[in-house]
């Protein structure tokens, strides 16, 4: 109990003293996770919507696979990305290993199935509602997907936020491909893992609370920006 | 509006879960006129309209338009029995079919104005369509169907929730549309309305085509006792 | 790492710990968390780096000399950076070579990870790294790395056994901790430790006093 | 590339030889994650549905918080559970630390917000559809929630599967509270982390592919059992 | 059916987004009779019914039933303008209101059978309700409302999608229900139907209570020119 309190205290001090290291790794966390979120959303939202709209032979199998991919173990993703990007791997020449880019790649792989799966679920209901009209109007596949994405943007927000949450809290994969290098690839979660390893639980918890506060901030920010819950909206 | 479209059904049959819900039907519809599809609840009227429009899967048989399938659908419009509202404002709902046809912004604005006025919803252009009253929804759905000047218009009980005045206005609008050359295929349970509008009638019963013919004949001298009973609001069996 | 193990011992979540960081261990006993500290065995640290050895550390005479050569050409060096026994050893080696590791530039990468993860990082970017021999021999992803320098007596690495004090944490299984200690210092353990080999190399040397 | 291939090969051999250790840790993985899933679902499905049904003052804030909690960093959860269960913590007397129970507790904390948030999203649509009828029929809160859960069970499946995926692939928290003790708390993900640390990528990848296969199996199993995608169902 | 329920509205006003959509209205409804709420599209009929039923938020003023609010709602039933189908089978939809009242399984089975028969859906008891035709949905919604023997019944255009025969049957059913003591408050756009059923009329216009009175008087000698125009299907303004 005491440890948890001193963790909160540590978080408080880190924040009020504007600890330079803290600011650096917090910004890097945000940069990596938001980049991953944007890239993953660009891939996953249309794909999830497309899955809701299209009927094809292996649709069931695709959906089951997508759901299963939500469970991609981060460590395995990290390993595979490591092997691909390592000097002896096929993309070794790019020299991306142990850079924030590598971390973004790993996170994109982890959160894309999650976002796509939640998006698919949400879009399925909307598609059931719009189906007859959009078919009747002879819309193209692309138009259907764009219409659903636009009119279902509120539901897609949850998908995006789930993805962001997964990304910002993830540590297994980015530890492997980013290496937790000080001043280069250290982010909040890897720093927490480091402090835990050192047995400095106060600092680890403190960083953890900073991370949670950050997640809350982003969520409240997005919610109030998009006014999702305001009465009288869709 | 350069070419006309006729359609023919050949042994068209719709089954769902092994149960026959419509057909088999053989039917020819001429390229012009106002066809009224009549029949009791559950007779298959909605199903027939959807089959003609190409949005209901046919289990066997064929539906053949005189123009290619893609072109046929492009120039048709459909008003559903329960109006489907996009989760947007009233004017955005009207603009939608124009937007997806790639019409210029300026023209869209103009046409939306015109149609808001014609369907009498000008004073609620910015209201979310999902908040409209039952009758207002029906009017909006009708305007959204007509705004692309379709060559064939399907209407599934378009006046069910309209008040007397709106019904009259919509009827006038439909006859006007008919006279500019649009083919109309409609269902209604209002026999008076059917009489006022129809040029010919398709009478369905229990998923089968029971009678077909010119409107005047059907209403004045129905050939079968079932049709007679139906027109009187009696038990049809 | 050693830090987390000491922490678990302090909380009483384990009955005994086996670690390698003399100063921290002595504080642990002084603070009354452990009953005593008993040395069990030792192995040694080795300097690992790319087989091409750009800094030529293989030719150095001492560990300090090897580190000076690395610093001279600022060749990429991976540090555990996690306050572990190995990390503390590395920092003290740098200072005896006349440097302050905290002031190094970007070539010195403090990765803040366990030994395995740090070795993976070094293998990924062909860097120099300090490792204990056991971890290195157990490590499967050697890539283009090889042991380049070893044998300097300062690289000696002592492991010690510290039972948790049952007076502070009454629930600990002191009997089991005593049995384990007896076993660890027995001739059977001596035999096992001294003959444990990977790839034909011995790893540990038993040095417990009876 | 080669490493990945040998990983697949390793997975293959592990499976065909019915490696006893593999079977043990696989079963433990399943046991821990399925237990966590069941407990989390019992908590999260009614809660998410309740959130969709109830209008109250801090609803927006609750939803934003829930979304933020989807991003709870596993390491922090692990730490907090560790501190609570540790001998010197408030629940130390239970002696749960380094047991599968501790791992289940940590996973429940991680996946409950995720399941609740997705469930809430799905139930909101259904509630919009049912709202007037259920209010008119003068149903109790409980009846509303039960009706929505029953009629929306398909959508809730995605929520559950997302939670299962997150649980089975998670490593950060269970490593701290479970300790990765051989024959006691070692599961697939912690074994993968161990092998990665040893640099034995073939074995790590092999275990990873076993884990992915397991996730696929569970998903295909549940999908075909529930016939979610069969035409003509709700 | 032991106690009767009357209701009075006092300065009741419904606003949405700052716009007045209904009221302010002062209105008393007696505990018996068949009240028909009439008015053009968007006049506020649906809103009024929902306010009376207690499912629409009132911005100001009061709605007072002669019994407590909870009891009032418990003994009322409402048929929505667009029927809401539970995603279950037809018979499960009928059984639902009984299940939530905690009625025994055996009795539920019996009553569901009876009502399936009365609304003429016996042969589609196991069909998913969401697959029904428009008219079938309306019949199901009506049966689901009547199955609990409500003391007050609200009907929002319950026959809009029904064929002639079903309309007649439903009208008979409603009159029967009325005679067992149920209070009925209904809207319709079918003036003929209103004449056949109503004992008194509430006429709404632009969200305001325009005229109220006994049915015979309203239909034969409407007091205002607007009501006269409405009955003729003319422009009401
Ligand atoms: N997918 C389906 N599965 C089973 N039965 C179906 C399905 N779709 C439609 N039906 C049934 O087919 C019959 C015809 O339906 P349709 O909607 O065409 O009737 P309709 O003539 O339009 O009736 P209404 O006048 O009530 O609108 C109905 O009895 C309906 O319940
Ligand atoms: N939430 C809302 N926001 C804005 N306008 C609303 C809202 N709800 C209803 N309205 C408007 O209030 C008016 C009255 O609606 P109501 O549904 O009561 O009409 P009605 O008399 O039942 O019409 P109809 O005969 O078409 O069913 C309509 O013009 C409708 O658009
Ligand atoms: Mg129909
Ligand atoms: Mg209405």
SS3 C103: helix
Co-location of B92 and B75 in the same domain: no
Measured from the CA of E138, which atom of ligand 1 is nearest?
26
**From CA C205, how far away is CA E46, in angstroms rounded?**
90
Which residues of chain E register pLDDT less than 70? 1-4, 234-237
* Domain contains B122: yes
> What is the sign of the dihedral through the CA atoms of A113, A119, A122 and A123?
negative
Structure tokens at E81: 């303008």
pLDDT of residue E235: 58
Q: Which residue did the predictor score with more confidence, A1 or D113? A: D113
SS3 A30: helix
- The ipTM assigned to this model is 0.86
Q: What average pLDDT does this structure show over C142-161?
A: 87
Contacts of B96 in chain A (CB under 8 A): 137, 147
Closest-CA residue of A relative to C109 is A181
pLDDT of residue A229: 43
Q: Phi first, then psi: what are they for D47, rounded to 5°?
A: -65, -45
Residue tagged 């927006």 (tokens): D60
Q: Percent of chain D beyond pLDDT 70?
A: 96
Helices (H), D70-198: 74-85, 100-136, 141-151, 153-169, 172-178, 188-197
Q: What residue ranges define each of the domains in chain A, with the CATH number in brackets? A: 2-233 (1.10.3720.10)
**E–C contact (≥3 CB pairs within 8 Å)?**
no
**From CA D139, how far away is CA D149, in angstroms rounded?**
14
Q: Given pLDDT bands bounded at 50, 70 and 90, which one contains residue D218? A: confident
pLDDT of residue A234: 38
**From CA B76, how far away is CA B87, in angstroms rounded?**
23
**From CA A36, how far away is CA A30, in angstroms rounded?**
10
SS3 B185: strand
Co-location of B70 and B167 in the same domain: yes
Co-location of B119 and B179 in the same domain: no
Q: Are strands B200-205 and B208-214 parallel, antiparallel or unpaired?
A: antiparallel
Co-location of E51 and E164 in the same domain: yes
Which residues of chain B register pLDDT less than 50? 1-2
Co-location of B22 and B107 in the same domain: no
β strands within chain B, DSSP E: 7-16, 19-29, 34-38, 60-65, 76-79, 152-156, 183-187, 200-205, 208-214
Q: Are strands E76-79 and E152-156 parallel, antiparallel or unpaired?
A: parallel
* Domain contains B26: yes
A155 Cβ neighbours under 8 A, 6+ residues apart: A119, A122, A123, A126, D121, D125
Co-location of E123 and E196 in the same domain: no
Whether C4 sits inside 8 A of A182 (CB atoms) is: no
CATH number at residue B227: 3.40.50.300
> What is the sign of the dihedral through the CA atoms of D67, D68, D74 and D78?
negative
- Nearest Cα neighbor of A205 from D75, D47, B60 is D75
Closest-CA residue of E relative to B43 is E133
**E–B contact (≥3 CB pairs within 8 Å)?**
yes
B182 Cβ neighbours under 8 A, 6+ residues apart: B149, B150, B151, B152, B153
pLDDT digits (tens, 9 = 90+) for D50-105: 999 988 888 888 888 888 888 888 888 998 998 888 877 788 788 888 899 999 99
**From CA A137, how far away is CA C92, in angstroms rounded?**
75
**From CA D7, how far away is CA E201, in angstroms rounded?**
80
pLDDT of residue D234: 38
Co-location of B33 and B52 in the same domain: yes
* Domain contains B37: yes
pLDDT of residue D229: 43
* Domain contains E237: no
In terms of Cβ atoms closer than 10 Å to its own Cβ (0-12, 13-18, 19+), residue D144 is buried
Name residues 184-223 of chain E within 8 A of D (Cβ): none
Ligand 2 pocket test, candidate residues E14, E15, E22, E46, most atoms within 8 A of CB:
E46
Structure tokens at E131: 């697959």
pLDDT of residue B1: 44
Structure tokens at A62: 């695709």
Q: How far does E100 lie from chain D, in Å, by closest CA?
A: 7
Q: How far does D199 lie from chain C, in Å, by closest CA?
A: 4
Residue tagged 């138009």 (tokens): A143
Is the Cβ–Cβ distance between D36 and D104 less than 8 Å? yes
Per DSSP, E36 falls in state E
List ligand 2's pocket residues with C-beta within 6 A.
B 124, 127, 131-136, 161; E 16-17, 21, 39, 41-47, 81
pLDDT of residue D1: 59
**From CA D189, how far away is CA C161, in angstroms rounded?**
29
Whether A88 sits inside 8 A of C114 (CB atoms) is: no
**From CA D155, how far away is CA D118, in angstroms rounded?**
9
pLDDT of residue D233: 40
Closest-CA residue of B relative to E123 is B42
Closest-CA residue of B relative to A142 is B100
**From CA A161, how far away is CA D72, in angstroms rounded?**
12
**From CA B232, how far away is CA B229, in angstroms rounded?**
5
Query: Does the pLDDT value for residue D228 go beyond 60?
Result: no
Closest-CA residue of C relative to D97 is C13
Contacts of A139 in chain B (CB under 8 A): 100
D25 Cβ neighbours under 8 A, 6+ residues apart: D186, D187, D188, D191
pLDDT digits (tens, 9 = 90+) for E86-126: 999 999 999 999 999 989 999 999 999 999 999 989 999 99
Q: For E66, what's the count of Cα atoms within 13 Å in the CB-facing half-sphere? A: 12
Tell me, yes or no, if A230 comes closer than 8 A to chain B by beta carbon: no
Co-location of B107 and B52 in the same domain: no
SS3 A87: coil
* Domain contains E223: yes
Whether B80 sits inside 8 A of A133 (CB atoms) is: yes
Whether E41 sits inside 8 A of B131 (CB atoms) is: no
Structure tokens at C194: 């001294």
Q: Phi first, then psi: what are they for E27, rounded to 5°?
A: -155, 140
Query: Does the pLDDT value for residue D200 go beyond 90?
Result: no
Interface test with E, best of B37, B42, B232 (most E CBs within 10 A): B42
Is the Cβ–Cβ distance between A45 and A159 less than 8 Å? yes
* Domain contains B97: yes
As for how many domains chain E has, the answer is 2
Co-location of E160 and E212 in the same domain: yes
Interface test with A, best of C124, C127, C141 (most A CBs within 10 A): C124
Co-location of E68 and E154 in the same domain: yes
> What is the sign of the dihedral through the CA atoms of E49, E55, E60 and E63?
positive
**From CA A212, how far away is CA C66, in angstroms rounded?**
44
Q: What average pLDDT does this structure show over C114-124?
A: 84
**From CA D203, how far away is CA A231, in angstroms rounded?**
54
**From CA C179, how far away is CA C167, in angstroms rounded?**
18
pLDDT of residue A232: 40
DSSP annotation string for B109-167: HHHHHHHHHHTT-GGGTTSBGGGS-HHHHHHHHHHHHHTT--SEEEEESTTTT--HHHH
D153 CB neighbour count, 10 Å cutoff: 15
Co-location of B48 and B114 in the same domain: no
**From CA E134, how far away is CA D124, in angstroms rounded?**
25
Q: Are strands B152-156 and B183-187 parallel, antiparallel or unpaired?
A: parallel
* Domain contains B194: yes
**From CA B123, how far away is CA E19, in angstroms rounded?**
12
DSSP annotation string for E72-100: HHHTEEEE-SS----SSBHHHHHHHHHHH
Whether C125 sits inside 8 A of A183 (CB atoms) is: no
> What is the sign of the dihedral through the CA atoms of A173, A179, A182 and A185?
negative
SS3 A55: coil
Tell me, yes or no, if A232 comes closer than 8 A to chain C by beta carbon: no
Q: Given pLDDT bands bounded at 50, 70 and 90, which one contains residue C201? A: confident
pLDDT of residue D48: 94
Give the domain extent around B102: 86-131
**From CA A127, how far away is CA A124, in angstroms rounded?**
5
Co-location of E164 and E200 in the same domain: yes
Rg (CA), chain E: 18
pLDDT of residue C13: 82
SS3 C35: coil
Q: How far does E99 lie from chain B, in Å, by closest CA?
A: 28
Per DSSP, C186 falls in state S
Q: How far is the CA of B162 from the centre of ligand 2 (A)?
A: 13
Whether B191 sits inside 8 A of E164 (CB atoms) is: yes
Contacts of C116 in chain D (CB under 8 A): 196-199
Is the Cβ–Cβ distance between E184 and E31 less than 8 Å? no
Whether B100 sits inside 8 A of A143 (CB atoms) is: yes
pLDDT digits (tens, 9 = 90+) for E139-159: 999 999 999 999 999 999 999
Whether B133 sits inside 8 A of E82 (CB atoms) is: no
A127 Cβ neighbours under 8 A, 6+ residues apart: A52, A53, A148
Tell me, yes or no, if C169 comes closer than 8 A to chain D by beta carbon: yes
* Domain contains B137: no
Long-range contacts of B98-107 (CB under 8 A, 24+ apart): B98/B147, B98/B148, B100/A137, B100/A139, B100/A140, B100/A143, B101/B148
Query: Does the pLDDT value for residue A230 go beyond 50?
Result: no
Q: Please measure the distance between the N-terminal and C-terminal CA atoms of chain D and give it in whole angstroms.
A: 44
Per DSSP, A93 falls in state G
Tell me, yes or no, if B165 comes closer than 8 A to chain E by beta carbon: yes
Structure tokens at A214: 């950050």
């Amino acid at each position: 109990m005491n440890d948890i309190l001193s963790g909160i205290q540590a978080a408080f001090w880190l924040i009020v003293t504007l600890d330079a290291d803290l600011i650096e790794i917090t910004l890097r966390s945000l940069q990596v996770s938001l980049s991953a979120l944007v890239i993953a959303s660009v891939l996953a939202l249309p794909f999830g919507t497309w899955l809701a709209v299209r009927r094809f032979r292996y649709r069931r199998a695709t959906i089951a696979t997508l759901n299963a991919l939500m469970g991609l173990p981060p460590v395995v993703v990290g390993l595979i990305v490591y092997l691909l990007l390592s000097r002896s791997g096929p993309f070794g020449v790019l020299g991306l290993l142990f850079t924030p880019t590598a971390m973004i790649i790993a996170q994109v792989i982890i959160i894309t199935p999650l976002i796509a799966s939640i998006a698919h679920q949400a879009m399925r209901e909307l598609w059931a509602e719009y189906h007859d009209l959009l078919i009747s109007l002879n819309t193209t596949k692309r138009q259907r997907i764009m219409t659903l994405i636009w009119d279902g943007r509120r539901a897609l927000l949850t998908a995006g936020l789930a993805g962001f949450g997964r990304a910002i809290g993830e540590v297994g994969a980015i530890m492997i491909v980013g290496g937790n290098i000080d001043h280069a690839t250290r982010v909040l979660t890897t720093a927490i893992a480091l402090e835990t390893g050192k047995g400095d639980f106060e600092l680890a918890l403190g960083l953890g609370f900073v991370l949670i506060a950050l997640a809350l901030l982003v969520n409240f920010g997005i919610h109030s920006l998009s006014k999702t819950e305001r009465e009288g909206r869709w | 509006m350069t070419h006309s479209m006729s359609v023919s059904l050949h042994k068209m049959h719709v089954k769902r879960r092994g149960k026959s819900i419509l057909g088999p039907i053989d039917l020819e519809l001429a390229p012009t006129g106002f066809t009224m599809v009549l029949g009791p609840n559950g007779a298959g009227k909605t199903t027939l309209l959807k089959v003609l429009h190409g949005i209901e899967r046919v289990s066997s048989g064929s539906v053949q338009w005189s123009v290619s399938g893609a072109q046929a659908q492009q120039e048709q419009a459909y008003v559903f029995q329960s109006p489907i509202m996009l989760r947007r404002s009233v004017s955005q709902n009207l603009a939608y079919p124009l937007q997806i046809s790639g019409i210029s912004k300026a023209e869209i604005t103009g046409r939306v104005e015109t149609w808001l006025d014609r369907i009498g919803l000008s004073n609620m252009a910015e209201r979310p369509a999902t908040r409209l009253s039952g009758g207002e929804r029906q009017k909006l759905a009708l305007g959204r169907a007509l705004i692309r000047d379709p060559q064939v218009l399907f209407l599934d009980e378009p006046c069910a929730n309209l008040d007397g005045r709106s019904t009259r206005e919509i009827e006038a609008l439909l006859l006007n549309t008919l006279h500019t050359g649009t083919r109309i295929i409609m269902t209604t349970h209002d026999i008076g309305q059917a009489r006022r509008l129809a040029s010919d009638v398709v009478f369905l019963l229990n998923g089968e085509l029971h009678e077909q013919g010119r409107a005047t004949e059907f209403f004045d001298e129905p050939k079968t006792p079932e049709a007679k009973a139906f027109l009187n609001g009696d038990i049809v069996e | 790492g050693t830090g987390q193990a000491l922490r678990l011992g302090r909380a009483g979540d384990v009955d005994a710990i086996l670690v390698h960081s003399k100063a921290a261990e002595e504080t642990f006993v002084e603070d009354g968390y452990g009953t005593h500290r008993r040395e069990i065995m030792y192995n040694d640290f080795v300097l690992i780096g790319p087989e091409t050895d750009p800094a030529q550390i293989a030719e150095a005479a001492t560990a300090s000399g090897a580190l000076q050569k690395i610093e001279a050409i600022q060749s990429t060096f991976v540090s555990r950076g996690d306050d572990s026994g190995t990390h503390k050893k590395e920092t003290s080696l740098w200072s005896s070579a006349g440097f302050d590791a905290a002031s190094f530039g970007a070539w010195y990468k403090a990765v803040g990870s366990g030994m395995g993860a740090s070795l993976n990082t070094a293998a990924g970017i062909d860097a120099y790294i300090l490792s204990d021999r056991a971890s290195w021999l157990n490590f499967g992803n050697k890539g283009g790395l090889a042991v380049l320098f070893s044998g300097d007596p300062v690289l000696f690495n002592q492991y010690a056994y510290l039972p948790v004090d049952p007076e502070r944490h009454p629930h600990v299984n002191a009997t089991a901790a005593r049995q384990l200690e007896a076993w660890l210092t027995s001739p059977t353990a001596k035999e096992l430790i001294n003959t444990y080999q990977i790839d034909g190399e011995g790893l540990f040397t038993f040095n417990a006093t009876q």
